[in-house]
Amino acid sequence: MKLKDTEYTAEEIKEMADKYMISTFERFDFLAESGKEQYLYDEKGEKYLDFYAGIAVNSAGNCNERVVDAVVQQAKTLMQTFNYPYTIPQALLAKKVCETIGMDKIFYQNSGTEANEAMIKMARKYGIEKYGPNKYHIVTAKMGFHGRTFGAMSATGQPGNGCQIGFGPMTYGFSYAPYNDLQAFKDACTENTIAIMVEPVQGEGGVHLATKEFLVGLREFCDEKGMLLLLDEVQTGWCRTGEVMSYMHYGIKPDIVSMAKALGGGMPIGAICATREVAKAFSEGSHGTTFGGHPVCCAAALAEVNELLERDLAGNAAEMGDYFAEKLKTIPHVKDVRHQGLLVGVEFDETVNAVDVKHGCIDRHLLVTAIGSSIIRMVPPLIIDEKDCDTAVDIIRDTVKCLSAEVA
């Protein structure tokens, strides 16, 4: 829907949203009316270079034509049904995903946090059924982020901070250990531990990459102890990091992996994939969903996955990620640049506030986000080229220059 199709002005739409919607986000002060490839457009037709991509969602570009066509055709055929009958999009997507990433079984959900809930539930049920009623404990990483529902929020290793504040006691059965500290994870495990759950790259935690020693060590330790390795690839999955899944950089395979975001190409879908043995923990009635595996979302996801793979957008993410990172290092007051593919974090020194950089970039029509006061994070569409990277670097450089001048 475009503004001209309504009876309202842009300001009236904003006022309407502020009046009737519960606010839990800081709004960017523009009306996103349409999107195409690496750009968003406001109601005036002004374009914004979108290095946020719906928070790592629109990996094949905003309103990718192949995805849009799949949505339209499926919506005309079958919009929604319950999960008792077979549907074509579910089956085709299941085959494509499992065969592509080397897993055996898939279970569909609606979002990343729901996928992580399902992963936690499957791991606990597997542990209790195989080892007994006390085998439910899971160790996760400090400063990790796994979502905002109660199980996923409790697994998030930020006690007393961020998304946990004000919601009362967390779900019992989680412990936290420092990221990339293999010995600390081993020490945090008890006789009741069934799984270790981590992100291959901590996105919300500041774009910190797992070391190979850490992830390979976790895999070996879990195998040794008969525990499960759970990987949260909600943000890193589907070509973002330069491989189809981030765990492929490390030469390992998880027992369960969660995914969402880029999987749907803009439509809401999440999923977990598991080994055949672990997947047996879910049986009839043990878990369910009304909208998970929605035919339209599955059709969109199949189109998105095919687009990502056939265009080798993982390869482009690897190439452009390296190029972009090197350019970003030339900006004044940049303390560190961390990236895996096109999941990019830029840390500034104490003289520059990242929130101010974010706002300055938005004013200059570049969309980025901030993590705390020192880091900006960028997750652009994987279709970007060197020119787009250069434009983003120029905008960030100009923003930092102006902010530095104000401080001086």
Element (H, E) at 276: helix 276-279
* 292 in the same domain as 398: no
CATH of the domain at 99: 3.40.640.10
CA 235 from centre of chain: 2
**Are 141 and 258 in the same domain?**
yes
The answer to whether residues 219 and 77 belong to one domain is yes
**What range defines the domain where residue 316 resides?**
3-60+312-407
Inter-CA distances, 282 with 123, 130, 136, 341, Å: 10, 13, 15, 34
Is the whole model's pTM more than 0.85, yes or no?
A: yes
The answer to whether residues 73 and 11 belong to one domain is no
Predicted confidence at residue 158, as pLDDT, reads 87
Let me know whether 197 and 264 are in one domain: yes
pLDDT at 26: 86
Q: Percent of the chain at pLDDT above 70? A: 99
- Where residue 27 falls among pLDDT bands split at 50, 70, 90? confident
How many domains would you assign to the chain? 2
User: Do 338 and 208 contact (CB within 8 A), yes or no?
Assistant: yes
Q: Are 24 and 71 found together in one domain?
A: no
331, 401 in Cβ contact below 8 A? no
Burial label for 8, CB within 10 Å (0-12, 13-18, 19+), is: exposed
Are residue 241 and residue 387 in the same domain, yes or no?
no
Angle between helices 313-328 and 295-310 (to 10 degrees): 70
Tell me, yes or no, whether 45 and 128 share the same domain. Answer: no
CA dist 291 and 284 (Å) reads 17
Q: Write the secondary structure of 198-236 as one string of H (helix), E (strand) and C (coil).
A: ECCEECCCCCEECCHHHHHHHHHHHHHHCCEEEEECCCC
335 and 254 in a common domain: no
DSSP letter string over 95-145?
HHHHHHHT-SEEEEESSHHHHHHHHHHHHHHHHHHHH-TTTTEEEEEBT--
Sheet holding 369-371, edge to edge: 334-340, 343-348, 375-378, 369-371
Q: Are residues 306 and 329 in the same domain?
A: no
Please give the structure tokens belonging to residue 177.
């250990």
Look at residue 5 and tell me whether its pLDDT is greater than 80.
yes
Claim to verify: residue 218 and residue 294 sit in the same structural domain: yes
Query: 104-108, 164-168, 344-348: which range is least confident on average?
Result: 164-168
Phi, psi for 257 (deg, rounded to 5): -135, 140
Q: Beta-carbon neighbour count of residue 340 at 10 Å?
A: 25
Give the three-state DSSP class for 84.
coil
Distance of CA 301 to the CA centre of its chain: 15
What CATH number is associated with residue 386? 3.90.1150.10
Q: Same domain, yes or no, for 145 and 267?
A: yes
For residue range 365-408, list pLDDT tens digits in order: 999 999 999 999 999 999 999 999 999 999 999 999 999 877 65
pLDDT in the model for residue 408:
55
C-beta contacts of 358-363 below 8 A and 24+ residues apart: 360/399, 360/400, 360/402, 360/403, 361/395, 361/396, 361/399, 362/28, 362/29, 362/30, 362/48
Task: Using the structure block, give the residue that is written with the tokens 């901030």.
Answer: 370
